[in-house]
Chain A
Amino acid sequence: MPFKQYVIVGRRLPDPKRPHKAADDALYKMIIYAPDPIKAKSKYYYFLSQLLKTKRSTAEVVSVTEVQERNTTRVKNYTVWLRYQSRTGQVNMLKEARATSVAAAVESIYQDMAGRHRARYESIQILRVQETPSNQCKRPATLQMIDPHIRFPLPHKLQRASSRALRTTFKAKLPVTTITK
């Protein structure tokens, strides 16, 4: 499921037993990346509990707004700062992704983390996401794509049927996957 960007505002519920402080009136606004608002709220409660001594029953979400991004057909470079719980300890990381939206960039980072470090959604915290101009990118994987005259062949291509109706269980001929053109 594609990731989305949510802006969530919430607060700690006032407790009559506790003396009221000015800080109790504060609303906490966070940008959360998640596949749906339910998961987003869960993540929000988690972060809020890191900041304040709260849990689901002692805090409330005031609003959940999905951010509709503009211009999702332009490729951008994103730098993502994240923190994840590895099997040995907490690790901070800076990663770069090329995507057309922030949410898509974060999604690809989650996939990347799962692939390279076997890190699950729960163990990853996205700290900050920023669009980075090309000349400030660092990672070679991004840099090679930034090359203005990028050009590469597709040496291994598997021809697939153009629709489900045309798929066959058996083929008369072996597929040729090495296209040298």
Chain B
Amino acid sequence: MAFKRFVEVGRICLISYGRLSNQLCVIVDVMDQNHVIIDAADGSPVQRQVINLKRLNLTDLVVKLPRGCKSKTVHKVMAQEDVEAKFAATAWGRKIARQRLRAGLNDFDRFKVMVARKRRSYLIGQELGALRKERSGGA
């Protein structure tokens, strides 16, 4: 199987450890085989920094960046390419968004989710029952 995700300049990554975990960033330079320099979109809590690749998860997304470019360029490219939205549209991005949403729910919201879940399983059960009936009736 060929590799699809590479450590390269412009690779969009997710930080996987610590305070900044699950924050999007982009590789702007490769220092050695274990360390890279990352930067992020404007307004992100991620500052330009050296990071160990152990603390980074590579995503499928890549943007075009000159190696070692300035933060200003990174901000511009990240905004232009709409990286945030592109990632949010992926399954991985949706999962993270859902986790964040779930963690932020208050007691009333949890109750509403519970009600919705019950409703869903009720409807599924209803449908399933109808299908079963249909089948047994046909057989």
Q: Which of A's residues lie within 8 Å of B, judged by CB?
A: 73-75, 98-100, 141, 145, 148-155, 157-160, 162-163, 179-181
Contacts and interface: CB of A to CB of B under 8 A. Distances in A.
B18 interface: yes
A148 B32 contact: no
Interface residues of B, number: 27
B48 interface: yes
Interface of B: 1, 3-9, 16-18, 21-22, 29-33, 37, 48-50, 53-54, 58, 67-68
A103 B68 CA distance: 20
A181 B21 contact: no
A155 B30 contact: no
B54 A151 contact: no
A152 B8 CA distance: 7
Contact of B8 (A75, A150, A158, A163): A150
B31 A153 contact: no
A151 B6 contact: yes
Report whether over half of chain B's contact residues are helix, strand or loop; otherwise say mixed: loop
11 contacts: A73-B50, A74-B37, A75-B31, A98-B31, A145-B30, A145-B33, A150-B8, A152-B6, A154-B5, A162-B21, A163-B21
B22 A162 contact: yes
A163 B8 CA distance: 26
Given A100-B50, A150-B30, A154-B53, 13 more contacts: A74-B29, A74-B37, A75-B29, A75-B37, A152-B8, A153-B3, A153-B5, A154-B58, A157-B54, A160-B54, A162-B16, A163-B18, A181-B3
Looking at A73, A99, A159, the one whose CB has the most chain B CB atoms below 10 A away is A73
Given A145-B31, A162-B16, A163-B21, A73 B48 contact: yes
